[in-house]
Amino acid sequence: MFAELKHYKNTDHFFFQSGQNLKEQSKDAPDLPGVYYIMRLAKGNIDLVYIGKAGAISQNGQFKEQGLRGRINNQQDGMPRQEFFEKKIRAEKIDGLDIYWFVTFDKQHRDLPAYVEGLLIQRHSELYGRLPEWNKEYSKKR
């Protein structure tokens, strides 16, 4: 989907549907820094609805926040992500979510997740003139 992500080799995706356990579905996502995006499958359409990052780096070069698996399972809109997804699936009549993840900072790549997330948000904004539907805002500090 994004040319900026093609060179990352530590990547995969998983599906999430109503009634499934998000922690179980995301068990293969590593706790490493990276980016992820969420595709909504509903009413015969596939739409990108969210772009996120996992891993904030400290001044000393150490990552201080959770990796991809932890972030995917954290919170959104003040509720556990499992609950958020279930609520959205019901409200928007979603058939399923396809969640793609990419490790951006490892032995092969040294790309900060916030930088890559910014590139993806920029590309989406250039194409559609707005943020993905479930991204409430984009700012330097999140």
Q: What is the pLDDT of residue 77?
A: 94
Nearest to 35 by CA among 69, 78, 68, 2: 68
Return d(Cα 8, Cα 101) in angstroms, integer: 10
Is the distance from CB of 79 to CB of 86 less than 8 angstroms? no
Confidence of residue 66 (pLDDT cuts 50, 70, 90): confident
pTM: 0.94
Mean pLDDT, the chain, integer: 95
Ordered domains of the chain (ranges, CATH): 16-128 (3.40.1440)
Mean pLDDT of 37-63: 95
Find the helix or strand (DSSP H, E) in which 129 lies: none
